[in-house]
Structure 1
C-alpha cells in the first residue's frame, strides 16, 4: 500500500487478556536489538517464527521465577512468558496510529462505514451472500453467478 500511496484506515484488534494479567501492550519491542523488554526491564529473546507468521519472544525462566510481578505476568503452570508479534506488527501499528491520531485518518475511517461496509451489507442482504455455501463446482456450477 505504501508503494502505491494508498492510505489505510484500519484499527488494530486488541487481543483478549485474562483478568488480572498483564497485556502484551505492557511489553516494549526494541528494534535495534531485536528483543522485547518486559515491564521490569528484562529482555526476552527471539526464539522462532510460527507458520502463521508470528515471531515468538521467550523470557528467561530463572528471571521470571524470582520476579515480583510474576503473578500478574505469568499464566497458570507456566514458568516463562511468551510474547507473539506478527511479522507485519510494526506496519499495522503505524496504520493504527495514523487512523486514530490524525484528522485525515479519522475522516477516512469514518467514510469507510459509508462505502465499504455499505457494500458488504448490500451483498449480504440483497444478493444472497448472507451464508457461505461451500459446494463443489461439479454439484452446483451456477452458484453465485458462475456460468462457466
Structure 2
C-alpha cells in the first residue's frame, strides 16, 4: 500500500472483523505536503483497512468484466435465477408461516435439499 506521497503503509494487524490494517509512519507524515488530503488524525497517521479477501474480489470483478465473464453472466437467468423461481412457484417459498431465523433457515435448507434430490430422479 502506498500513500499519495508514495510512502509505504506497512502492515499493522488483522482485526477480528477480517480487516487488515495498514498504517503510515507518523514522523514522515507530520511533514508531508499531502497531509490534509490524506488524513485528519491528531497523530498524523494514515490508517487503511482492507478486507482479507479483497484480492479475490478484485479477481472476480476482473473476470466479470472480461468477455468470458460477460458470456457466462448471460446464462445466469437460465441456471441460478431459475432455481429461485421454481422454489417460489412450485415449493411454496413465497411466504413462510414460521417465526424465528433458525426455524426459517432449517425450513429453507430442507426445501432446497428436496429440490436437489428431485433433480436426479427427473433426469433418470
Could you tell me which runs of 5 or more consecutive residues in structure 2 were left unpaired when the two chains were aligned: 111-124
1:109 to 58, 73, 86: 73
> Greater relative contact order (Cα 8 A, min sep 6): structure 1 or 2?
1
Distance 1:41 1:113 in 2: 45
Task: After TM superposition, give the deviation of residue 96 of structure 1 in Å.
Answer: 1.3
- Count residues with an aligned counterpart: 106
Task: After TM superposition, give the deviation of residue 89 of structure 1 in Å.
Answer: 1.6
- TM, length-normalised to structure 2: 0.62
Task: After TM superposition, give the deviation of residue 63 of structure 1 in Å.
Answer: 2.1
The alignment status of 1:127 with 2:93, answered yes or no, reads yes
1:56 to 21, 26, 36: 21
The alignment status of 1:43 with 2:8, answered yes or no, reads yes
Greater gyration radius: 2
CA contact (8 A) 1:99 1:105 kept: yes
- TM, length-normalised to structure 1: 0.54
Distance 1:106 1:121 in 2: 22
Structure that is richer in helix per residue: 2
Q: Cα RMSD between the aligned structures?
A: 3.4
